[in-house]
Structure 1
Amino acid sequence: MRIYIVDDEDGKIQNIHEFVRTHFSTCKIEMFRSFQKGLRALLTDPPDALLLDMTMPTYEVGPREPGGRERRYAGREIIRQLNRKKMKIPVIVLTQYEQFEDGGKDVDLQTIKLELVENYPDIFVDAIYYNASDSRWMNELENLLAPILQEHDHE
């Protein structure tokens, strides 16, 4: 089984990668650090599951490239594109933010989850609040990924 991690935060990516590698050792993991690279990879070579950040730069950040503008809802846009292309890749969002700003007002993670469940029920699995100093995200991720892997193994 192949899992993509699309996220721009180095420490978070490494923690998620290590967790998946340890708990789901048969999975092949690929990582992408921007909206454009992640979306391109998803559309050209779809994985079996996607672990997705909500906020990331448009392009890869490099030594002389700042990555373009930060896309506050890059994850939501990626899910929308997958849905538009009728790609049924299970998506789990992992975000370090409990609040998002949307059109001048604050929107909490629970509201985002409800919107994604309602609009993309065939793709969106759940959203997890990621905090490096708290292990709850690991339990949640394990509980969400295990059934996806089991279903994939029985296909």
Structure 2
Amino acid sequence: MKSIKFLIAEDQADKASDIVEIIQSRYADASFEYSVSYAGTAKKIKKNEFDIVILDMSMPNFDPKLGEKPALKALAGRDIMTKMQYRKTFIPVIVVTQFDIFGRHSDAVSIDKLGVDLKKDFPDIFAGCVYYNTQSKSWEEELIKIINEFVDE
């Protein structure tokens, strides 16, 4: 089996670490690159070839400066997939998020509705949505199940 190259687009270090740990436990030869913002993720996807992108839905617009706590862009992940589709960059994207509601007030959308919308809007890119919850192991199993759909063993 060839090495799988992942882009982990996640602004929380502990969540990124959990994701990598789960993937490495199943795919020991996997390699990883990281991004922590919308701009950084868009740049890495444009410059590199990845087998799978693990994408957080809510990220800052730009890489934060040291000590800075930037505002989050609620649907940054959707904007990344829009850019990928425009550029005809068809890499499987797995959204891993710890939120079950996105946006605010009348713009709010549930994680289930978001998954349905992403599948409809990005059929060649969106691979699935995983609800990250440290109180449960089910997110780990779901993540590996989706990755397995794209890995030749």
Whether these two folds match at TM > 0.5 is yes
Equivalent residue for 1:54? 57
Which of residues 82, 85, 99 is equivalent to 2:84? 82
> Is 1:20 the counterpart of 2:30 in the alignment?
no
Match of residue 32 from structure 2: 29
Q: Distance in 2 between matches of 1:77 and 1:8?
A: 16
Deviations 1:2-47 (A, max 9, x none): 1100010111001001111121112111111111111100011131
Residue by residue over 1:61-115, the C-alpha shift from the partner in whole angstroms, topping out at 9 and shown as x without a partner, is 2325444x42100000001110110111000000000111256342101110111
Number of matched pairs:
150
User: What SS does the aligned partner of 1:88 have?
Assistant: coil
User: In structure 2, what is the equivalent of residue 123 of structure 1?
Assistant: 125
- Matched residues in 1 for 2:104 and 2:46: separation? 27
Distance 1:111 1:35 in 2: 22
CA deviation profile, 1:98-134 (whole Å, cap 9, x unmatched): 1112563421011101111001101101111101121
What is the aligned partner in structure 2 of residue 134 from structure 1? 136
Q: Distance in 2 between matches of 1:62 and 1:20?
A: 29
SS of equivalent to 1:122: coil
- Mapped to 2, the partners of 1:62 and 1:14 lie a distance apart of 21
| Alignment correspondent of 2:110 | 108
Determine the structure 2 residue equivalent to 1:45: 48
Check whether the contact 1:12–1:132 (CA below 8 A) recurs between aligned residues: no
Q: Do the aligned partners of residues 10 and 70 (structure 1) sit closer, same or farther apart at CA in structure 2, a change above 3 Å counting? A: same
Counterpart of 2:149 in 1: which secondary structure? helix
Gaps of at least 5 residues in structure 2 are none
One-letter amino acid matched to 1:101: G
In structure 2, distance between residues paired with 1:101 and 1:91:
21
Question: Which of 72, 89, 93 is 1:70 aligned to?
Answer: 72
